[in-house]
Amino acid sequence: MTRTPTLLASVALLALLGACHRDSAPVTAAPTGPAPAPAAAPAAMPGMPGMPGMGAAAPTPAASATGTVEETMNASTYTYVRVKTPQGDIWAAAGQFKVAVGDKVVVPMNMPMSNFESRTLHRTFPMIYFASQIEVLPKGK
């Protein structure tokens, strides 16, 4: 009869655990402040009327510099040019293209990088403009 006290203790423990479970309500986190405001509609963006976040205004053109190539070099897949502009000399780079000292070019100035280190050229440019394309103007323009 040594099983009877163990069996009674087990049943009592189960009953106690069952009673605790019935008496306690599930725990849920209560909100601590007001509900978050719904996200605002995206601001209008130029060029795409009728689309969320798109407006009808035309995009403004990126700044560019026009000048004469004073120095050029190819490194890896890029062509680097030092361009003399009315505002001073600038460095620019784009995917390799044909250009020569004395050519007039138009450099988009929308991707400036300061203190750019070219590992291929083993030099650091204090400021350089990376462009998807640098336009070489026809001779005489």
* pLDDT, position 67: 97
Sheet holding 88-95: strands in order across? 112-118, 123-130, 88-95, 78-85, 64-75, 104-108, 135-136
Cα separation, 52 vs 136, in Å, equals 38
What are the chain's domains? Answer: 64-136 (2.40.50)
Pairwise CA distance, residues 86 & 11, whole Å: 95
* Low-confidence residues in the chain, pLDDT < 50: 13, 16-17, 19-31, 33, 37-60
CA distance 135 to 83: 12
**Per-residue confidence (pLDDT) for residue 3, from 0 to 100:** 58
pLDDT for the residue 42: 45
User: Which tokens hold the place of 107?
Assistant: 């450099």
